[in-house]
Amino acid sequence: MKDNTKCLHAGYTPKNSEPRVVPIVQSTTYVFDSTDDVAAVFDDPTKALIYSRFANPTVMAVEEKIADLEGGIAAMCTSSGQAANLLAILNICNAGDSVVASSQIYGGTINLFSYTLKKLGIDCYYVDVDATEEEIEKAIHPNTKAVFGETIANPSVSVLDIEKFAKVAHKHNIPLIIDNTFATPILCKPIEFGADIVTHSTSKYMDGHAVQCGGVIVDSGKFDWAGSGKFPEMVEPDESYHGITYVGTYGKLAYILKARMQLMRDFGCYPAAHSAFLLNLGLETLGLRMKQYCKNAQEVAEFLKNREEIESISYPGLEGDKYHELANKYLKGASGVIAIVIKGGREKAIKFMDSLKLASNEVHVADIRTCVLHPAGETHRQLTDEQLVAAGIAPGMVRVSVGLEDVSDIIDDLKQALDQINK
């Protein structure tokens, strides 16, 4: 199946007289014929469903669809993108370990890595998104267990050289984790370029309609956990599961099953069946929507780049953009997010935002409706000026998330707001 067909059909194939649409199995629990049957499932939870804190048929259909779209072997949904990145790291890092991350990543992930993981004893070393192989290597310590980056960074829209990061990670026998939220598997499949684990905030383009938060972790099944020698918990018996060994018992599925059996069991951030049902509705039109987001954003970017109120514009789809070549290599389209810096800094950026009529000022991105956000004053306000620069965020930056309205209406709105700036 090709992508648009997968969006509609992967993960759920009804049998004779079963519902055409993935049913919502809104049940906390599942029944068994005997105590022995329950005991068997406790010994190996992959044998049947036990409890909807870590597996549910509606959610599993969506997991299979996303794994298929990404070219992975399995996936696990979470209740948010934050939960996905948290569990993706905790599955392979303990206190005393570290992670190397690109500095141009989502502000919430910077919080998670710099503060919360630090409190748990996991350090994060940042490297520039354009770091050379040598610079990335320098950041990798003997205790480093993963390298992390975003395909298209939120909000700076830089494009990561995935193959370069994968090469360095693999040289050190550690996996590359890619947050593919802005590209979606329609525009980029990071596993094809060497990523081992792919994460998403499904709250963004995958859901697409701004109706529920969610996240997902996709396992490529390609990383050699046993051969690496750096992940003893993947090969040694898990006392919390009667001495199961993940690689020994589950082979290529070791990472994702460990995440589900240990971490989802203990953290419990699994989405509800109803949320997965809504996510699935979004996924059904993902291919169609991504194509149109790219088309609208390209036209909006071409309009914005000629306006004198704008100091700079970043959109990897633009000829001459710093990341245009990487976009051509890695992406089938530059997605729907444009970062602009308004001349006159913070004050003029706010004037522009407050003058918009159609585009909404909201803490979201990748909504089906055009929306804008001022990172320095809103999502990234906790960052120091130094961190803002490292994350590629100027005080006058506005993130424009181009929606699926008629593009002429979007451009008219941006035009009238730009006209207001210097009035």
Ligand X SMILES: *Cc1c(COP(=O)(O)O)cnc(C)c1O
Instruction: Note the residues at the interface with ligand X (CB under 6 A).
Output: 80-82, 106, 108-109, 150, 154, 179, 181, 201, 203-204, 213, 215
Q: What's the min distance (Å) between Cβ of 100 and ligand X? A: 17
Closest by CA position to 182, among listed 4, 365, 398: 365
Nearer to ligand X, 161 or 309 (CB): 161
Residues in the chain: 423
Nearer to ligand X, 81 or 336 (CB): 81
Q: How far apart are CA 106 and CA 190, in angstroms?
A: 18
* Cβ atoms of residues 338 and 157 within 8 Å: yes
Q: How far is the CB of 337 from ligand X (least distance, A)?
A: 9
Q: Taking CB positions, which residue lies at the least distance from ligand X?
A: 81
Q: How far apart are CA 99 and CA 84, in angstroms?
A: 16
Q: In degrees, to the nearest 5, what angle opens at C-alpha 322 toward C-alphas 405 and 413?
A: 25
CA–CA separation, 100 and 230 (whole Å): 15
| Residue 312, token pair as written in the block | 């700079």
Q: In this complex, which beta carbon is closest to ligand X, that of residue 207 or of residue 284?
A: 207
CB of 186 to ligand X, least distance (A): 16
* Joined tokens for residue 11: 């993960």
Smallest gap from Cβ 365 to ligand X, in A, equals: 6
Closest distance of CB 44 from ligand X, Å? 31
Query: Please, which residue, 86 or 244, has the CB nearer to ligand X?
Result: 86
Identity of the residue, 113 or 277, whose beta carbon is nearer to ligand X in the bound complex = 113
Query: Coil, strand or helix: which one is 259?
Result: helix
By beta-carbon proximity to ligand X, the closer residue of 247 and 263 is: 263
Q: Is the CB of residue 414 less than 8 Å from the CB of residue 348?
A: no
Of 92 and 183, CB closest to ligand X: 183
| Torsion sign, CA atoms 364, 304, 405, 207 | negative
SS3 at position 291: helix
Q: At what angle do helices 345-355 and 407-421 cross, to 10 degrees?
A: 130
Tokens found for residue 342: 């308004």
Residue among 179 and 309 whose Cβ is closer to ligand X? 179
Smallest gap from residue 226 Cβ to ligand X (A): 30
369 near 405, Cβ under 8 Å? yes
Cβ of residue 252: shortest distance to ligand X, in angstroms? Answer: 26
Residue 79's identity, in one-letter code, is S
Query: Please, what is the minimum distance in Å from the beta carbon of residue 406 to ligand X?
Result: 26
Q: How far is CA 24 from CA 66, 237, 279, 280, in A?
A: 18, 36, 12, 11
